[in-house]
Structure 1
């Protein structure tokens, strides 16, 4: 589909893209044009990940402000109720907070942490058994369990893209991981869970179990690993576009 080809469609949305650890909007730079070519508006968020004074509420406020700025600059339609929030990895902690603050058509968790009320991000890892699941997958694939952690993220990303990312500043404060997740319950918003079928960091089996136990949801697999927006942006955009078309607008 060529750029602008989605204009006039009733299933076009604004997609708010919330990154994981490091909080870099750059993570989404290959996905944004793919979404725009399908007629959607994509808003990639930079989070204050290096600020030790910034916790989850601040992350949510920054992401919500980015959404409000997009709505304020849009003259052809009201964005309210036509928003899809996508949270990747650690973004699963803050994306639901945005969905609780603004009318949202859909919340998408992409290789994401799924928190429980009152649980800290630091507690999440042991609570879901992430380390054991990662090690089990490495053994099954014949890889060393103590392999270079970067291989969990870079194994399917084009080398030139990975090299460009290495030039981007990276910092992640521990503050958001130390805070109890603040919502009393999961927001009352349609939610979908997408797992990269080649994710080594959050293996698909782990994501399926966590989604079932914590949200009562099944997982849809998409091509690529933990950073599939960098490795398989076209395929991911196609799946997100499909989710938009499958989900009724709240105000419809």
Structure 2
């Protein structure tokens, strides 16, 4: 059964359509990349699917339950959502920020159960934040803070993780480390949906790709099936070539179409 199912979602602002008749499903064991140019509706689609925006048409459900019927706590126990904007205004220690991922289970700072502590420690290690536990979060670089927020999402240990541009502030090493972590989670039975702008990362790590263009999902399938020179030209306006060497793909972007 799908963890998250969306069908016919539509949304407009001041008469301008942002998402049009969009539908998809997320399955356990899949790492799905959501790609598309700026302004194509990716973030709006995620918020609609999670019930954070009220759709003008269409529906979405989590584990078969309409998102509108789920309380924030119920939703947080099923899906860890890492939004694109992640403000942090308090000088909290890194461990406390990561511990926020356990609040849906009744945890409180300073009163974590053994299971909560284990989840927080595992998330810190997975995001290579060992040694940062007592650092004040407001002293971190943008990339370090991005990894802290990712660890907070992972600490929730939900069946599904949805991350909106989680690698945007990271250097190449941590971009690949994050995508490898997502791939490992998917192999372990979790569902992962991540918005990425680096097409090479989507091509290398995702086993499924959703393509958005002008508010619509225009392709949904494996990287092998959906990455074509014609689609890259039509969706991103670029001239590109796709080649394959064994099980690996190579994307060469030649320039604007």
- Which structure features the higher share of helix residues? 1
TM-score > 0.5, shorter chain as reference: no
Q: Give the TM-score normalised by the residue count of structure 2.
A: 0.28
- Which structure features the higher share of strand residues? 2
| Structure of greater Rg | 2
